[in-house]
Amino acid sequence: MVRYHFFFTGRVQSVGFRYKASYLAKEYGLTGFVKNEYDGSVSLEIQGLDEKITELVECLKRDRVIRIYSMSKEKIDLVEGEKDFKIKF
């Protein structure tokens, strides 16, 4: 189990990014949250198996509407007891 904090820039707001990330996280059994930032970027904190997190990010990169121009990734501490994935507003 690992947890990462991602920042995505590009055409990532108003294109279904949060909803797709939420759908994929639930499909892959991942927990955490995704939210839009005021500067137009999107933050994603995600926890689970490293391979599944990689699959989720690759699916987002391949989306026909979402355009990720840059992405940063930082490993952070696990959140014990977290049970689901949320979209934060």
Residue 78: CB atoms within 10 Å: 13
Q: Which position among 3, 18, 64, 67 bears the catalytic label?
A: 18
Q: Which position among 11, 36, 62, 64 bears the catalytic label?
A: 36
Whether 36 is catalytic: yes
Whether 11 is catalytic: no
DSSP, residue by residue, 31-73: EEEEEE-TTS-EEEEEEE-HHHHHHHHHHHHH-SS-EEEEEEE
Catalytic positions, written as ranges = 18, 36
